Amino acid sequence: MNFDTVKYKANYYLFLLLAFIIPLERKLIPPIIILLFVSSLLNGSFKFKEKKGILALTLLYVAYVVGLIYSTNLKYGLFDLEVKLSLLLFPLVFFVSKIEMKKVADNILNSFIDGCFVASILSLISAAIQYYLYSDINSFFYGELALYGHSSYMAIFLCFSSALIYIKNIKQGNKISFPKKDLFLLALFSLIIFFLVSKTGIISILLIHFAFIGYLIIKNKLYLKGTVALVLISTLLFAGYKAFPEVNNRFNELFTTVFSESEELNSTSSIRTEIWKTSVKILVQHPFGVGTGDVKDVLVEYYMNSGLDYAAEKELNAHNQFLQIALATGILGLLVLLLMIFYPLYYAIKNTHIIYIVFLGLIIINFLTEAMLETLAGVVFFAFFNTMLYTTFVQNKINR
């Protein structure tokens, strides 16, 4: 085996390893990214003209760097740039790597599904041990169940994996009768999302199930089987909603926030709504942003002035990625983010790139309720898969 082959395989397996680790241990992510970056340089193919479009994805990181220039709190700003470094590194990794992503993308995505499976099983085992030791049923719900991070991020990982399973079976020509392994994974991931009690996650997985099952029903004219499947899923979900107070309370809280005129801040949904209002107020006063380093300090100050003591104490972000980047970098930064999402979405729809469409759809839904790019798990998930899927699109375009 010559050195070029070793370099290529090392680079390839590091892509697989990173995809596998993303749903698991966050502490392992930075060293794997460093190894991936180095291996990509060693396995480099510097075809600037052919792959230059990939480098456009670094503009989001550039927006945050510009936002640091007019920041007062440089310490926090530099830390924030460190957290978001994946937005710069992954476009560089995919730009220089010799690997043809369109040929290995399915393997990388399957590795991610495997990682989600392992994370789900380990989370259930951990919850069972906690329940055995302390007899606390809450061990199986919300943040207690999410062994490797925030429940919202675990939920989006499982939603994306579920969509990938559907897409894989549709490509293989399977109808409603999927392989038992895939049916088990769909059931397991749906159950975990349900127990995580992530409102956005539950809404997302429902959309995924109904959209793909609906597509299979219409395409294969399996109206009876499909209707039975949809009724069964709906019945199980309703039974779970009624059986588990934790889930019931979370959605009742959401409905109350949306339809009630009460101004009491007695739920996470109502607090989030007030945070959004505060963020918009700041943005109106600072259309060019308050700076990458100062965004947290300014938010906390406004929370205190608005009587949002809990939000101030916890130093909460805007809980909306579009608002968060606008607060930090202004309207220009927001436009860069919107362009990065909706330009690829347009071409993904135009070219029927289903995986990319689903990924960006999930990103948009979750960006509306979470500032995903403020955490390592969120930014790595977005930067890695967005760059990978965009690279497959670029490579397909080159080879036409």
- Least reliable range by pLDDT among 133-142, 159-168, 197-206, 238-247: 238-247
Task: Record the tokens describing residue 291, joined without a space.
Answer: 């700076």
CB neighbours of 118 closer than 8 A, spacing ≥ 6? 20, 23, 24
pLDDT of residue 222: 76
- Least reliable range by pLDDT among 83-92, 172-181, 182-191: 172-181
Q: What is the pLDDT of residues 29-54, one digit of tens each?
A: 999 999 999 999 988 776 666 677 89
**Which alpha helices (DSSP H) does 149-294 contain, by range?**
151-171, 180-196, 199-220, 223-243, 245-259, 268-285
Q: Read off the pLDDT of each residue in 339-368 and give the average, rounded to a whole number.
A: 95
Q: Read off the pLDDT of each residue in 140-154 and give the average, rounded to a whole number.
A: 82
pLDDT of residue 226: 74
Dist CA 386 CA 331 (whole Å): 22
One-letter amino acid of 360: L
Dist CA 51 CA 245 (whole Å): 52
Return the bridge partners of 97, or none: 44
Q: What is the pLDDT of residues 88-134, one digit of tens each?
A: 999 999 999 988 898 999 999 999 999 999 999 999 999 999 888 88
Nearest C-alpha neighbor of 22 from the set 125, 139, 182, 158: 158
Q: Say whether pLDDT at 318 is over 70.
A: yes
Is residue 331 a contact partner of residue 287, using CB atoms and an 8 Å limit?
A: yes
Q: What is the DSSP string of 80-131?
A: HHHHTTHHHHHHHHHHHB-S-HHHHHHHHHHHHHHHHHHHHHHHHHHHHHHH
Q: Say whether pLDDT at 337 is over 80.
A: yes
Dist CA 354 CA 163 (whole Å): 10
Which residue would you say has higher pLDDT here, 141 or 200? 200
Q: Read off the pLDDT of each residue in 77-98 and give the average, rounded to a whole number.
A: 95
Q: Read off the pLDDT of each residue in 56-85 and give the average, rounded to a whole number.
A: 96
| Domain ranges within the chain, ordered by starting residue | 1-43, 63-98+266-400, 104-260
Nearest C-alpha neighbor of 359 from the set 348, 370, 347, 368: 348
Which residue would you say has higher pLDDT here, 169 or 245? 169
One-letter amino acid of 358: V
Q: Say whether pLDDT at 63 is over 90.
A: yes
Q: Read off the pLDDT of each residue in 48-63 and give the average, rounded to a whole number.
A: 86
Q: Say whether pLDDT at 309 is over 80.
A: yes
Nearest C-alpha neighbor of 293 from the set 63, 72, 66: 72
Q: What is the DSSP string of 359-384?
A: HHHHHHHHHTT--GGGSHHHHHHHHH
- Least reliable range by pLDDT among 215-219, 227-231, 249-253: 249-253
- Least reliable range by pLDDT among 48-62, 148-162, 185-199, 352-366: 48-62
Mean pLDDT of the chain: 87
- Find tokens 């539950």 and name the residue: 202
CB environment 323-339: b (16+ within 10 A), e (fewer): bbbbbbbbeebbebbee
Dihedral of CA atoms 217, 219, 220, 224 in degrees, nearest 10, equals 20
Q: What is the pLDDT of residues 231-278, one digit of tens each?
A: 887 787 777 666 666 555 655 554 444 434 444 444 566 788 899 999
Dist CA 358 CA 159 (whole Å): 10
Helix 295-305 × helix 321-350 angle, to 10°: 120
Among the ranges 22-26, 135-139, 241-245, 294-298, which has the highest mean pLDDT value?
294-298
